[in-house]
Amino acid sequence: MPKISTRGDTVPASPIRKLVPYADAAKKDGVKVYHLNIGQPDLPTPQKALDALKHIDRTTLEYSPSDGYLALREKLVGYYGRFGIKITPDDVLVTTGGSEALLMTFMACMDPGDEIIMVEPGYANYLSFAAQAGLNVLTVTSSIEDDFALPDVEAFEEVITPRTKAILLCNPNNPTGYLYTKEELYRIREIVLKHDLYLFSDEVYREFCYSDEPYISAMDLKGIEQNVIVVDSMSKRYSECGIRIGNIVTRNKDVRESVMKFAQARLSPPLLGQIVAEASIEGTEEYAKQCYEEYLARRNFIIAGLNAIPGVYTPMPQGAFYTTASLPVDDAEDFCQWLLTDFRYRNETVMLAPAAGFYNTPGLGKNQVRVAYVLKIEDLAKALVILEKALEAYNRR
């Protein structure tokens, strides 16, 4: 039998989805599963966007331009303008979600064997994208004891080699919810400037910042305008994960032209998704305010509830809708699987994401989980009770 490729063998499985078969089996047995494992918002998509989908007036569902419809890119220019980010439609390229945006920019900016620095824990699929692009991942580690703050400059300098081409940040961070400060971002700016690196900035959760300080985008960092590539997505902002619309923003013309070759090879981003996305950007300010307030309330509730469980600790996240928590267990992945296969409380259980998969360094995050607070508070309350009961039962075995 033919063998699969080395690439196919080494691309890591998603820690977010690898336990899905166990959850599906539990549901098949009639068990209620509270999904805190995946960042799928339960809030409704804006009605304005749904109406645009329902009232599509086309006789042919055609290819769009490879860089996305101009009307959508113009709307995105206005959106970024609300945050003081001044760009033109030519600086924007529409992609099939933020995932494709990262994969295409990795391939456009770096060669196989080049190195990219990531902060761990980080979004697990970054490792997959890097593997697909043939990149070597270097990591600097943030610590739960330090609330997952950005590691010191020295930690970055220690891992940089002549093959290092980029730094990747997620701000606000997935999976920790950490929001990088202005001072931290300017420390990154100095490293990028000193070593002439690309700075990839995943800013998908920009709408969900719970700090009183103004949000700082990588696009705001002076002196590295040609180094910065922002990756963005409609998925979380408008509860539109399924439309698969994201985008790249960069002022670097060479990068845009290189990415465009990959964009042309995949022909075009989703037509229907672009229609929905364009309708979502304007006239949804009240919707965005309500979503923000709901996630803020959920954050406050879940963090207080987690820290009230004996042996559990999580810092207070300042952004996104995730937190990474340490549990009083030796192997969080075993615990998460056991929750789905063996534990029931009133015929209900909880699904969590083992955090070890968000680290690149083997052995780190073994007793940690990522919690996505994407359920209503009533369901979060039930999930917390189940989690506390489960930890008691698991440690009595």
Q: What is the pLDDT of residues 102-115, one digit of tens each?
A: 999 999 999 999 99
pLDDT of the residue at 8: 86
Give the mean model confidence (pLDDT) for residues 375-389: 98
Rounded to 5 degrees, φ, ψ at 168 are -115, 125
- The fourth-level CATH superfamily of domain 6-44+286-396 is Aspartate Aminotransferase, domain 1 (3.90.1150.10)
CATH of domain 47-281: 3.40.640.10
Measured from the Cβ of residue 223, the count of other Cβ atoms closer than 10 Å reads 10
Judge whether residue 6 has pLDDT over 80. Answer: yes
Among 10-19, 292-301, 337-346, the range scoring the smallest mean pLDDT is 10-19
pLDDT-derived band at 392, boundaries 50, 70, 90: very high
Q: What is the pLDDT of residues 61-77, one digit of tens each?
A: 999 999 999 999 999 99
Angle, helices 97-109/253-265, rounded to nearest 10 degrees: 120
pLDDT of the residue at 10: 82
Rounded to 5 degrees, φ, ψ at 115 are -120, 145
Measured from the Cβ of residue 310, the count of other Cβ atoms closer than 10 Å reads 9
Cβ contacts of 49 within 8 Å, gap of 6 or more: 238, 240, 276, 277, 279, 280, 284
Nearest Cα neighbor of 281 from 90, 40, 80 is: 80
The pairing of beta strand 92-95 with beta strand 115-120: unpaired
| CATH 3.90.1150.10 placement within the chain | 6-44+286-396
Give the mean model confidence (pLDDT) for residues 177-198: 97
| CATH 3.40.640.10 placement within the chain | 47-281
